Amino acid sequence: MNINYNSDTPASVKRRRRGIDWTVLVQLLAMVPSLLVGLGIVVLLTSLLLGYIPNRPAWTQWAPLGAAGLWFLLGFLWFAPFMQSFLAQSFLLLRPPVQAELRHMEYSWHEVLRRAGLDNRAKFRLWIQDTNELNASAAGGSIVSVTRGALRYSGDHLGAVLAHELGHHLNGHTYPGLLAWWFSRPLYWLRRLVRLALRIALAILRFISYLNALVALVGYLFVGTAYLTILIGLVRGIVWAWETSWIAVVVLALAFALAPVMNRQAEYRADRIAVQLGYGPALVDVFREWQNFGFEDHGRRGLRALYLASHPPLHARIRRIENQLTHGGRYNGGTGK
């Protein structure tokens, strides 16, 4: 089948503004359970710490709620411009580009911003991930990163990769990812602490078992009882939530189950932004090259891996781009990754 691509480069465009994509709303709902668990952990730990303070003032009874509220607000602080460099370098392990890398990306990036109706002073900032993989990503409020391996591209091909990541920002796709990361930190740290304590306890019990098998058996029973208590607590919490508002539980469960699907839809919509900016044919070229490199491995995955995949198959993305190009893919200032 011959595909008639409309590859005209947009000369003048309508300024694109940031918005909230419908996929973002589902992803925000999906992170509510992590948020509630995180709030509960912060409240619990703060209450435990206050228990060790003798003769504490009466106002400290509100300290757990204050700590939970402060922790919640800190999640939004990560989007502040002055926090982006700290986030990129300390947590995402990115680095600023050197002069040669910046010069290599500069023309393509400025052209992407021009086609999107944004000037070069837009608050987005380019970063480098030191890996030879072919990849790029968008994060935080202004981070656009490219792997060292992806710098093999130039011109419209590099522009297509950057336009896709800009599409994530313009559609608000980076918001739920960063918030979910922060809201899940208390549970993540608690799980690591519990795993460390368990490893130490089991190591001690294995040592004791060589000296006194009965004492070791009592220890194993204690560890098993602790885990059973935690499991019963989780079950009781789920039952309480169901009895309190089963509709809310169903909505949150559906949102959680649909979160991987929304991740893949976000990729499609970011591709759509790149096509609307005039990078459709170049993006198809990039995806076909990735296929030649063996990135199209969905056929070798199990059903569970396919369901949890964060990105759609490359052939499906190419097909959507070709359909959009066939039916008038030139950017016209409309909405649309």
**5 pLDDT exceeds 60?**
no
> Higher-confidence residue: 46 or 250?
46
Which position has the token pair 């400290």? Answer: 60
**pLDDT recorded at residue 300:** 59
Both structure tokens of 292: 């030649």
**pLDDT recorded at residue 13:** 53
Both structure tokens of 262: 């929304």
CB of 247 within 8 A of CB of 256?
no
Give the C-alpha separation, 92 to 245, whole Å.
Answer: 38
Can you tell me the mean pLDDT for 49-60? 81
Range with lowest mean pLDDT among 91-105, 161-175, 185-199, 214-228:
214-228
Both structure tokens of 68: 């939970």
**pLDDT recorded at residue 295:** 74
What pTM value is reported for the model? 0.81
Q: Would you kindly state where each structural domain of the chain is located, as residue ranges? A: 1-337
CB of 170 within 8 A of CB of 16?
yes
The pairing of beta strand 143-147 with beta strand 125-129? parallel
User: What angle separates helix 213-244 from helix 246-274, to the nearest 10 degrees?
Assistant: 90
**pLDDT recorded at residue 9:** 52
Range with lowest mean pLDDT among 166-170, 314-318, 326-330:
326-330
Give the C-alpha separation, 166 to 172, whole Å.
Answer: 10
Give the count of beta carbons closer than 10 Å to the beta carbon of residue 132. Answer: 10
Both structure tokens of 330: 């030139």
pLDDT band at 334 (very low <50, low <70, confident <90, very high): very low
**pLDDT recorded at residue 6:** 46
Exposure letters 257-289 (e unless 16+ CB within 10 A, then b)? ebbbebbbbbbbbbbbbbbbbbbbbbbbbbbee
Q: Which residues contact 161 (CB under 8 A, 6 or more apart)?
A: 136, 146, 150, 153, 283, 286
pLDDT band at 17 (very low <50, low <70, confident <90, very high): low
**pLDDT recorded at residue 198:** 80
Residues of the chain above pLDDT 70, percent? 86
**304 pLDDT exceeds 90?**
no
Give the C-alpha separation, 270 to 268, whole Å.
Answer: 5
Which pLDDT tens digit goes with each residue over 119-144?
765 689 999 999 999 899 999 889 99
